[in-house]
Amino acid sequence: MTDAESTVSTDPRERVAVVTGGASGIGRATCARLLADGFTLAVLDLDGDAAKAAAGSTGLGLVADVSDAEQVEQAFATIVATFGRIDVLVNNAGISGGPAATICHETPIEEWDRVHAINSRGPFLCSRAALPVMIAQGSGHVITTASIAGQVVFPARCAYTASKGAALMFAKSLGVDYAHAGIRSNAVCPGFVQTPMTQWRLDVPELREKVEGAIPIGRVAQPEDLADAIALLASDRLSYMTGAALVVDGGWTAL
């Protein structure tokens, strides 16, 4: 056993997980699953009340915009002061962009920047804040919610596709750069998930039929499907897996 391995707690009740964008959708389901698995949570979201609810009675809910360096630094300082460690960081906060975020020449620069600020700058800032703590511990796991859009193109969503490609490669980069420090990094790549962000499309019968017709399993994912994948990574049962993408898309990209 290495020194790094000897510092990893075998009791999940002693482990602290930080989840960004934890107030709704995949993030909220992930918080519920990690709480059930015994983790202590710190939840970051723009909705402070919902973040506190998602963190549970033993956790910490904080208001933070993951694209704002000062807010991220303050949030992580509070987390470390409260719990003394960070074992798992789930970079989950993300946006798809509004209707204006479409094909390249029609996408306003400010909309491109907004999507990338959350989807790629956010994981960078949060990881940058968490990694020194993990390095000092000799252990840690960064789990980034990317997308199959980081592997295959979502038509007319160039900002989103590019941002998720960046998030995926960022996760791989961390896996390579910090393996020597006992830190792992992986990405979870969802397909179409039923969340508040996608509900508008699913509420239109012909659009839902089109989406589900492209998925071999025949249904869109629920947030709990992704929470299961994130929890599996967070459990350390896949301890040899780093710098990888765990695809959870109902077979979409297998076609």
pLDDT (tens digit per residue) in 55-93: 999 999 999 999 999 999 999 999 999 999 999 999 999
- The domain that holds 210 is classified in CATH as 3.40.50.720
pTM above 0.85, yes or no: yes
Whose tokens are 């969802």? That residue is 190
pLDDT at 14 (0 to 100):
82
5: pLDDT strictly greater than 80: no
Residue 207 pLDDT class (50, 70, 90 cuts): confident
Reply yes or no on whether the pLDDT at 1 is more than 60.
no
pLDDT band at 2 (very low <50, low <70, confident <90, very high): very low
Q: Would residue 254 count as lying in a domain?
A: no
Helix (H) or strand (E) holding 145: strand 140-145
pLDDT given for residue 52 in this prediction: 98
Cβ density class 50-87: b for 16+ within 10 Å, e for less: bbbbbbbeebbbbebbbbeeebbeebbeebbeebebbb
Per-residue model confidence (pLDDT) at position 25: 95
Backbone angles phi, psi at 248, to 5 degrees: -130, 85
pLDDT cut 70: percent of the chain above it? 95
Residue 26 lies in a domain: yes
Examine residue 252 and state whether it is found in any structural domain, yes or no: no
Within a domain: 126: yes
- pLDDT tens across 213-225, in order? 999 999 999 999 9
Q: Domain of 156?
A: 3-247
Query: Structurally, how many domains does the chain consist of?
Result: 1
List beta partners, residue 143.
Answer: 90, 186
- Segments of 23-139 assigned E as strands: 40-45, 60-63, 88-91
Q: Reply yes or no on whether the pLDDT at 198 is more than 90.
A: no
Residue 94 lies in a domain: yes
**pLDDT score of 28:** 98
Residue 255 maps to a domain: no
**Which pLDDT score is estimated for 3?**
43
In a domain, 62, yes or no: yes
Q: What is the mean pLDDT of the chain?
A: 93
Q: Is the pLDDT of residue 40 over 90?
A: yes
Instruction: Establish if 253 belongs to a structural domain.
Output: no
Catalytic residue list: 160
Is 82 in contact with 131 (CB distance < 8 Å)? no
Q: What is the pLDDT of residue 4?
A: 40
